[in-house]
Amino acid sequence: MTPLLFQPIELRDMTLLNRVVLPPMTQYSAKEGVASDWHLMHFGQFSVGGYGMVFTESTYVEAHARNHPDCLALYSDAHEAGLRKVIAFVHENSDAKFCVQLCHAGRKAAHKPHWDGGGPLEGDDRFPTYAPSAIALKEGFPVPLEMSTGDIQAAIESFQAAAIRADAAGADCIELHGAHGYLVHQFLSPLSNQRTDRYGGSLENRMRFGLELFEAVRGVWPEAKPMGVRISATDWVDGGWDVDGSIAFAKALEALGCDYLHVSSGGNSPLQKIEPGPGYQTVFANAIRAEVAMKVITVGQIVSPHQAETMLRLGAADIVAIARQSLFNPRWPWHAAKELGVDLVYPKQYEKAHPTLWRGTMP
Ligand SMILES: Cc1cc2nc3c(=O)[nH]c(=O)nc-3n(C[C@H](O)[C@H](O)[C@H](O)COP(=O)(O)O)c2cc1C
């Protein structure tokens, strides 16, 4: 029997050829938000490496939402054209599907790349940031402006406009970034949301922004194309966002037609006490998957093919995302297929490297 990792999976009208995906990884290599040759190389190498789907890095829906000006963005014709070129390349040269992760960084906007220390942008580089409440991410970080209901509506409209552009650029799928302390997560968590209006307080109120956003974007995204949400299942802080909240959010998203949940954790508080280890977030995927019918993606220190296959076999998740291990080995699916005894089709230019062929004489 074909290992589950290499069995196709359907999300609406989209079929992934296997269940290994490349999750979003910010590159800080876009020029004022426009995809560069780096992105062609980046997505090119992974798509020919056999991933069922590749995700863009967090792609920003408006200027003040950006983590950094060199992150991908999708609010201008130039942004759309840059992405269209990358997506066309991936579709032309591989069977990989392409998902755009749409994002608003909220109070995490205006940051430096990790190689410059990751702190807030300074001086003229800085721009104002908006969040559910005027609470800084941590000491030494700027206090964001509290969003008015008009700001909330404007943010939703920016996501809708970006989704329309993602469709026009040829994306197969979109994902709302609701994890890692970005805007949706900031609304969900009582640590970052201390509003007293209908967007704060009770769990129902804190989920309202994410749910209104999902519904509005789903409304402009083509019916046949899938749309999912990435969440942090827990803040890893007592009194913060937790797994019970995540299950409630997952159920509400499912009722609105969400096709999958991409389950990560953390990123919203300096007080987080993460307990890392191989597959450390899969326990959260498993807990959520037990409560919903939609597909669940697990991510986090998944390294070996047998580890990934076992997660699927145990029913902990439907799809496995491999991030840093893919940077280390962009042909991870090729290696996994070989290890699990699967005969993967390679791109014709590279077929001589196939395990059944490579020992033959050349030329
Ligand atoms: C360089 C880098 C950039 C990342 N950027 C994003 C991002 O833009 N959006 C996102 O949701 N997660 C981002 N992540 C998190 C990854 O998608 C993934 O959840 C995390 O690395 C854990 O998976 P891993 O243990 O397989 O690396 C990033 C991770 C890395 C290493």
Report the CATH number at residue 16: 3.20.20.70
| 260 a catalytic residue | no
Decide if 238 contacts 274 (C-beta within 8 A): no
Among the options 130, 182, 260, 346, which is catalytic? Answer: 182
**C-alpha of residue 57 to centroid of ligand 1, in Å:** 8
Is 113 part of a structural domain of the chain?
A: yes
Whether 67 is in the pocket of ligand 1, judged by its Cβ within 6 Å, is no
Is 169 part of a structural domain of the chain?
A: yes
The secondary structure element, H or E, covering residue 357 is none
Residue-number span of the structural domain to which 114 is assigned: 4-353
Q: What is the mean pLDDT of the chain?
A: 97
Q: Alpha-carbon distance 259 to 230, whole Å?
A: 11
Which residue among 284, 301, 324, 328 has the greatest number of ligand 1 atoms within 8 angstroms of its CB, and so is best to mutate? Answer: 324
The reported pLDDT for the residue numbered 359 is 76
| pLDDT interval class at 43 (50, 70, 90) | very high
Spell out the residues 6+ positions from residue 204 whose beta carbon is closer than 8 angstroms to its own.
none
220 has a pLDDT exceeding 90 = yes
357 has a pLDDT exceeding 90 = no
Whether 298 is in the pocket of ligand 1, judged by its Cβ within 6 Å, is no
The reported pLDDT for the residue numbered 4 is 98
Atom of ligand 1 nearest to the CA of 303: 26
The structural domain count of the chain equals 1
363 has a pLDDT exceeding 80 = no
Is 361 part of a structural domain of the chain?
A: no
**C-alpha of residue 322 to centroid of ligand 1, in Å:** 9
356 has a pLDDT exceeding 90 = no
Helix spans in the chain (H): 37-48, 77-93, 149-169, 183-188, 203-220, 243-255, 282-289, 305-313, 324-328, 332-340
- For ligand 1, atom 4, which residue shows the shortest CA distance? 25
213 has a pLDDT exceeding 90 = yes
pLDDT (average), residues 216-230: 98
| pLDDT interval class at 46 (50, 70, 90) | very high
| pLDDT interval class at 114 (50, 70, 90) | very high
Is 321 part of a structural domain of the chain?
A: yes
The reported pLDDT for the residue numbered 144 is 98
Whether 57 is in the pocket of ligand 1, judged by its Cβ within 6 Å, is yes
203 has a pLDDT exceeding 80 = yes
217 has a pLDDT exceeding 80 = yes
| pLDDT interval class at 360 (50, 70, 90) | confident
Is 140 part of a structural domain of the chain?
A: yes
Which residue among 20, 21, 25, 298 has the greatest number of ligand 1 atoms within 8 angstroms of its CB, and so is best to mutate? Answer: 25
* Threshold 0.75, pTM exceeds: yes
Is 328 part of a structural domain of the chain?
A: yes
**Residue 15, SS3?**
strand
Is 198 part of a structural domain of the chain?
A: yes
140 has a pLDDT exceeding 90 = no
Is 23 part of a structural domain of the chain?
A: yes
Spell out the residues 6+ positions from residue 260 whose beta carbon is closer than 8 angstroms to its own.
11, 226, 228, 229, 294, 295, 296, 297, 318, 319
